[in-house]
Amino acid sequence: MTELCLENFVQCEQKHLFVPTLPLTSLPPALGAEMTSPNPSGYCSEVSLGLLPRRQCVVSVYTSGEAMRLALLGNEYDLSDGDLSSAVHTVFPFRKRFAITKPTGVLLELKYWVREQSDYRPSPYPDRDAVVAEIKRRWKRKLPLNWFTLGKGGHAEKALRWAGANRFESWDQALEAAGLDPASVRRRKDSPYRDATAVIDEIKQRQRRKSPLNVVAMQKGEHSDNSLYRAGMRHFGSWDAALKAAGIDPYTVKLWRRSPYQDGKAVVAAIKRRNRRKLPLSAVSLLKGEHADTALYNAAARQLGSWYDGVQAAGIDPGSVMLRRHRAYPDRADVIAELKRRKKLNVPASTTAVARGEHTDYALYSAAKRDFGSWNAALLAAGISE
- Min mean pLDDT across 106-115, 163-172, 238-247, 275-284 is at 106-115
Helix (H) or strand (E) holding 23: none
pLDDT at residue 133, as a whole number: 94
Say if residue 227's pLDDT is above 90: no
Say if residue 18's pLDDT is above 70: no
Give the mean pLDDT of the chain.
76
The helix/strand/coil state of 171 is helix
Highest mean pLDDT pick, 15-19, 56-60, 321-325: 321-325
What's the CA angle centered on 154, arms 187 and 170, to 5 degrees? 50
More confident residue, 253 or 30: 253
The per-residue pLDDT for range 266-295, each reduced to its tens digit, is: 999 999 999 999 888 888 888 887 888 888
Helix (H) or strand (E) holding 205: helix 196-208
Say if residue 79's pLDDT is above 60: yes
The per-residue pLDDT for range 171-225, each reduced to its tens digit, is: 889 999 999 988 888 765 566 787 899 999 999 999 998 888 988 888 887 888 8
Say if residue 54's pLDDT is above 60: no
Nearest-angstrom CA–CA distance, 278 and 363: 31
* pTM (predicted TM-score): 0.31
Q: What percent of the chain has pLDDT over 70?
A: 73
pLDDT at residue 328, as a whole number: 75
Write phi, then psi, for 258 (nearest 5 degrees).
-75, 125
Say if residue 136's pLDDT is above 50: yes
pLDDT at residue 78, as a whole number: 76
Q: What angle in degrees, to the nearest 10, is found between the helix axes of 128-140 and 158-167?
A: 130
Residues forming a β-bridge with 58: 46
Report domain extents, the chain.
2-118, 128-185, 196-252, 264-321, 332-381
Radius of gyration in angstroms for the set of CA atoms belonging to the chain, rounded to a whole number: 31
Write phi, then psi, for 235 (nearest 5 degrees).
-85, -25
| DSSP structural state of residue 97 | E
pLDDT at residue 318, as a whole number: 82
pLDDT at residue 255, as a whole number: 66
